[in-house]
Amino acid sequence: MTKFSDLNLNPKVLKAIEEAGYETPTPIQAGAIPHALAGKDVLGIAQTGTGKTASFTLPMITALARGRARARMPRSLVLCPTRELAAQVAENFDTYAKYVKLTKALLIGGVSFKEQEQLIDKGVDVLIATPGRLLDHFERGKLILTDVKVMVVDEADRMLDMGFIPDIERIFSLTPFTRQTLFFSATMAPEIERITNTFLSNPERVEVARQATASETIEQGAVFFKGSRRDREATEKRDVLRQIIDREGEKCTNAIVFCNRKVDVDIVAKSLKKHGYNAEPIHGDLDQSQRTRTLDGFRDGSIRLLIASDVAARGLDVPSVSHVFNFDVPGHAEDYVHRIGRTGRAGREGKAFTIVSPRDEKNFEDVEKLLQKEIPRVELPNMSAPAAVPTPEPEDTASEDQGEKKSTRVRSRSKKPEREESKPARAEKPSAPRRNDRSDRNDRSDKGVVGMGDHMPEFIALSFDERRAS
């Protein structure tokens, strides 16, 4: 079996690896590190949680151990799609380069430009950045990329999903043609293939698992759920989530709950805290300092449940995550693999449960097609009838109520014609004398003018008397 000592790494790097508690490289590390140390371009494809970060950090530290950086001219560049992943890569460099005198700078959003510029001005060996912030520094004239010897693109498919490919292409054009390029990703979309064909020179392809496969150490389950009413569905779905968490009990030491939308992240976190669960949200709209505090709290165990959007789905290495709960089925099947890959890392066992509502069934079918297997269904004993299995009772009750209302309306309409028919019958008695009895009218006219009230002007009476006399 291959050991790190067999990979020709710098002795100081080996010492740091040993202190970190690692002896045997993962398959992606064993396959990629020798090619990277030989100066070749590498295209690494492996499922999440297999140690891709160390696959490029270890050979980079070994290659950069000799030499010195110049002001504003980094010697190596690592591009990451999210701030959290970039910060994690920086932590890996701190761990493995503790006995090697290398400097680094972390360029991410939410942090002061001035502090980052001060580090760049001193000269850094390793520059770890998100594409947007890197180009911001370049356009300010604070960064020169013509001395980059090693360039790494981590989670390349995530870069594609987030729309960073134009930025990646521009950054490639700013670096020397002679650089060494390392591409690492969990999946390899056709667009990524085009980028690698354009910017990588005869790369060594290292693929240790079928694209987008889930680790065999993860126990998966799906809970099919249907709300009793549309206006109650969200509330009942959160109740189902709590039942799944309670069902796992003490086995759920910590967990990540994934939602598709940022607004749902806040709502679910608030609901869980209201019901006494130790939960905190994390998504892209939060301040960077708050995101950092939340992640640190989740890592040290002070936060049990991390409610996250897909910003936390890829690349985050949080040790010993026991469970992953998908509150929503992701829109892209590949994201399912990355989400559940937060558990079952480094050979550990993990569990992943997904809540599937009727609107998610199509996306869930895509997930099973990608995995090429059926995810076991899970029934919750404490789930209410509408949530566990769709039953006709709520609908029947509603239809009965509607039927009663409808029949009431019909009866009320049926009475109206009866009233209309009765009116003419009552009106015939007073109307008949007016049509046929002229003597009645003559009697009334002899008594004077009718309908003028109590007072009648004298000239009107005179005119009638004169007409009678004539």
At residue 453 the predicted structure's pLDDT band, cuts being 50, 70 and 90, is: low
Higher per-residue confidence, 432 vs 110: 110
pLDDT (0 to 100) of residue 397 = 38
- Nearest Cα residue to 286 out of 303, 268, 311: 311
Phi-psi region of 428 (alpha: psi -120 to 50; beta: other; left: phi over 0): alpha
186 and 48 in contact (C-beta within 8 Å)? yes
Summarize pLDDT for 142-178 with one digit per residue, the tens: 999 999 999 999 988 888 878 898 999 999 999 999 9
Q: pLDDT for 252-269, tens place per residue? A: 999 999 999 989 999 999
Q: What is the mean pLDDT of residues 58-82?
A: 91
Considering the entire predicted model, what is its pTM? 0.64
Q: How many CB atoms lie within 10 A of CB 252?
A: 17
Rounded to 5 degrees, φ, ψ at 292 are: -65, -45
Stretch among 90-99, 209-218, 240-249 having the lowest mean pLDDT: 209-218
pLDDT score of 399 more than 70:
no
Segment 328-343 mean pLDDT: 86
All structural domains of the chain: 4-207 (3.40.50.300), 218-392 (3.40.50.300), 436-470 (no CATH)
With CA atoms as reference, report the closest residue to 77 among 48, 106, 117: 106
Residue 151 in contact with residue 177, Cβ under 8 Å?
no
For 163, the enclosing helix (H) or strand (E) is: none
Confidence (pLDDT) at 112: 85
Q: What does the block give as tokens for 366? A: 């895509």
The confidence band for 455, taking pLDDT boundaries of 50, 70 and 90, is low
Query: What average pLDDT does this structure show over 224-236?
Result: 90
CA 180 – CA 36 distance, rounded (Å): 8
**If we measure between CA atoms, which residue out of 350, 353, 342 comes closest to residue 306?**
342
Sequence-distant (≥ 6) Cβ neighbours of residue 184 within 8 angstroms:
32, 42, 44, 45, 46, 52, 55, 56, 152, 153, 154, 155, 156
Amino acid in position 453: G
Distances in Å between the alpha carbon of 246 and those of 252, 272, 343?
A: 9, 12, 18
95-123 burial: b if 16+ Cβ within 10 Å, else e: ebbeebebbbbbbbeeeeeeebbeebeeb
Q: Where are the beta strands (DSSP E) in 240-349?
A: 255-258, 279-282, 305-308, 323-326
Q: How confident is the model at residue 427 (pLDDT cuts 50, 70, 90)?
A: very low
State percent of the chain over pLDDT 90: 50
Q: Note the helical H segments in 306-449.
A: 333-340, 361-371, 385-388, 393-436, 438-446
Query: 123, 73 in Cβ contact below 8 A?
Result: yes
Q: Is the pLDDT of residue 405 over 90?
A: no
CB 391 within 8 A of CB 385: yes
- The DSSP result for 12-63, as a single string, is HHHHHHHHTT--S--HHHHHHHHHHHTT--EEEE--TTS-HHHHHHHHHHHH
Which of 94, 88, 63 shows the shortest CA–CA distance to 76? 63
pLDDT in tens, 269-324: 999 999 999 999 998 788 878 888 998 899 899 999 999 988 655 556 677 899 99
Q: Where does the pLDDT of residue 441 fall: very low under 50, low under 70, confident under 90, or very high at 90 and above?
A: very low
Q: Over the chain, what is the mean pLDDT?
A: 81
pLDDT value for 215: 76
Strand partners, 441: none
**Two tokens at 5?**
């000592």
Spell out the residues 6+ positions from residue 149 whose beta carbon is closer than 8 angstroms to its own.
63, 64, 75, 76, 176, 179, 180
pLDDT score at 452: 52
Mean pLDDT calculated for residue range 192-213: 83
More confident residue, 84 or 58: 58
429 against 222, higher pLDDT = 222
Q: For residue 107, give both structure tokens.
A: 């360029």
Is the four-CA dihedral 102, 167, 308, 385 of positive or negative sign? negative
Confidence of residue 393 (pLDDT cuts 50, 70, 90): very low
What is the C-alpha separation between 230 and 215, in angstroms, rounded?
36
pLDDT band at 132 (very low <50, low <70, confident <90, very high): very high
pLDDT at 30: 93
| DSSP run (H or E) holding 202 | none
Q: How far is CA 67 from CA 55, 93, 252, in A?
A: 21, 17, 48
